[in-house]
Amino acid sequence: MDLEENRVESRHYAFLMFLTLLNVMNFVDRQLLGSFANFIVPDLGLTNTQFGLLTGLFFIVFYSAMGLFMGALADMVNRTRLIAAGLALWSALTALSGAARGFWTLAAPRMLIGVGESIMTPTAMSLLSDRFPASKLGFASGFYYMGVPIGVGASLLIAGYLGPAIGWRNCFYLLGGIGLALAGAMLFIKETPRRHLAAAAETAAAQRPTFRQILKTLGFALRNCPALTLTIAGGITTHFILGAATFDQLWYVQERGFERAQIAQWTGWVGLVGGVLGNLFGGLGSDRFLARTGLGRPMFLFWITIVFAPFGIAYRLVDGDSIWFWIGVFVGFFQLGCFYGPTFSTVQELVPPNIRATVVAFYILVLNFIGLGVGITLGGVVIDLLMGLGVAAPYTWTLLAFTIISLGAAPLYYWAGRRYQSDRKRLLEMAA
């Protein structure tokens, strides 16, 4: 690839920043329920199982079920308009969630929020792959996914500072209104030309793939590209603890003795700094790792997982006043930040360009439905079960178990990294 192909115009960086802002809103709204756990659970009289269903299964089933369809849709329709529609939908439902009076009145909008949010990332990643060359896609993906730690951190800060001042319900109303305003702004942004369609137009009339053709190509890629399937499997395993960590705010208060607003503030700031640094390190570091070693970005994640494993385990066992506790909080957010750029750029590089949005949607589907879904929902059930059995520190033991299980991602990342170059070379030969 020559220097001209590697050059990225400033307007594309500006567009990346706007998409990242929308992703921040995406994760603020998604995480808001977890950040306000110590306010909403007692206010609505929820059990841990019910809370797990609201933050896990009820949201994720709809998010996952619609995700693959929305990803395929993004490969066929105007993507900026599609994002605007999704943002408007989930923002309106976030505002509606503030009026909930019990489990079911919160469950109904929570389910449909998943439909709106399922549009965002597959469509955004498809847009970015048409604006950034492969050599800079790790950076672009990592920057976009700074929306995760910033969104999670911001939601905790909202819970810690704004929640006590105006109440959790008014926070939901406010954020819903901000999202609707951003959806209106998105309507003024033009669609990005699709690279593979532009290239095809040089020799023949470019034709958009049908939904059936897209799914057929995706199935072929999953069957014939071990690096792709191993990367996806590693991501699922990593997400077991990310799902269970939804109960962290309850754990901090009930088993580590923190005050609910105070711990939301502290973890919000730590998460913001750690997550942003992790995203930058993961995006830029994995690009450099790939260029210098020739091994795939999943190998970079293998080393991240191995190096930080002791900190993740120690964090669950020490007291809240220990320095290792706060190192563990920071490392957890930093490691989460490192994850997104390398994995999402990898899965896009291992499939044909015309199904990139679909493979991202499929990846998000299995990450959420299997990884987060199991972690959140099963985590709540196990905590209630241990409480019923009279086990001391049920949150601690449940979260520790999921932390250890998630380390199974390491060998999957290792073999995905080893196979990356050969599988990508074969893909390019098949596409030639």
Q: What is the pLDDT along the chain (432 residues), one digit of tens a residue?
A: 444 455 677 788 888 999 999 999 999 988 899 899 999 999 999 998 899 888 888 888 777 777 777 777 877 788 889 999 999 999 999 999 999 999 999 998 988 887 788 888 888 888 888 888 877 776 787 788 788 889 989 999 999 999 999 999 999 999 999 999 999 999 888 787 766 444 444 443 445 566 677 777 778 778 878 999 999 999 999 988 888 888 999 999 999 999 999 999 999 999 999 988 998 898 889 888 988 888 889 999 999 999 999 999 999 999 999 999 999 999 999 998 898 888 888 888 888 777 777 787 788 888 888 888 778 888 899 999 999 999 999 999 999 999 999 999 999 999 999 998 888 887 766 655
Q: How far apart are CA 361 and CA 64, in angstroms?
A: 8
- Residue 228 belongs to what domain range? 9-187+208-431
> What is the C-alpha separation between 329 and 331, in angstroms, rounded?
6
pTM: 0.79
CA distances from 287 to 127, 150, 187, 282, 341 (A): 19, 22, 33, 8, 9
User: Whose CA is closest to 99, among 178, 165, 176, 26?
Assistant: 176
> What is the C-alpha to C-alpha distance for residues 56 and 68, in angstroms, rounded to an integer?
18
CA–chain centroid gap for 240, Å, is 13
The pair phi, psi for residue 320, each rounded to 5°, is -70, -20
| pLDDT confidence of residue 211 | 66
379-386 long-range contacts, CB within 8 A, separation 24+? 379/52, 379/56, 379/243, 379/244, 379/246, 379/247, 380/47, 380/48, 380/49, 380/50, 380/51, 380/52, 380/53, 380/56, 380/247, 381/48, 381/49, 381/52, 383/48, 383/247, 384/47, 384/48, 384/49
Alpha carbon distance 420, 226 (integer Å): 8
Say if 366 falls within a structural domain: yes
Q: 209, 358 in Cβ contact below 8 A?
A: no
| Structural contact between residues 232 and 412, judged by C-beta atoms closer than 8 angstroms | no
CB contact at 8 A, 146 and 20: yes
Q: Give domain status of residue 199, yes or no.
A: no
Query: Is 147 a member of any domain?
Result: yes
* CA-wise closest residue to 369 among 223, 243, 249: 243
**Domain annotation covers residue 234:** yes
Record the tokens describing residue 173, joined without a space. 């109303």
Q: Are 398 and 247 in contact (CB under 8 A)?
A: yes
Whether residue 195 lies inside any domain: the answer is no
Can you spell out the DSSP letters for 18-63?
Answer: HHHHHHHHHHHHHHHHHHTHHHHHHHHT--HHHHHHHHTHHHHHHH
Tokens representing residue 305 in the block: 């997982």
208: left (phi over 0), alpha (psi -120 to 50) or beta: beta
| Angle subtended at Cα 416 by Cα 413 and Cα 419, rounded to the nearest 5 degrees | 150
260 domain residue, yes or no? yes
Q: Residue 192 gets which letter from DSSP?
A: P
Measured at the CA of 25, the angle between CA 407 and CA 232, to 5 degrees, comes to: 30
pLDDT at 209: 64
Q: Please check whether residue 197 lies inside any domain of the structure.
A: no
* Domains of the chain: total: 1
Measured torsion, CA atoms of residues 55, 59, 60, 61, in degrees rounded to the nearest 10: 140
pLDDT at 225: 87
Cα–Cα distance, 330 to 207 (Å, whole number): 48
pLDDT at 59: 81
**Closest to 401 (Cα-Cα) out of 382, 373, 381:** 382
Task: Report which secondary-structure segment, H or E, holds 252.
Answer: helix 248-256
Return the pLDDT at 22: 94
- Nearest 5 degrees, angle CA 256-CA 260-CA 263? 65
Q: 198 lies in a domain?
A: no
Q: Distance between CA 204 and CA 293 in Å, rounded?
A: 38
Please name the residue that has the structure tokens 């929640």: 163
- Residue 208 contacts residue 197 (beta carbons within 8 Å): yes
**Token output for 419:** 């196979």
- As a whole number of Å, the CA-based R_g of the chain is 21
Q: Report the CATH number that the domain containing residue 304 is assigned in CATH.
A: 1.20.1250.20
How far is CA 231 from each of CA 140, 327, 366, 372, 409, rounded to the nearest angstrom?
Answer: 19, 28, 12, 16, 9
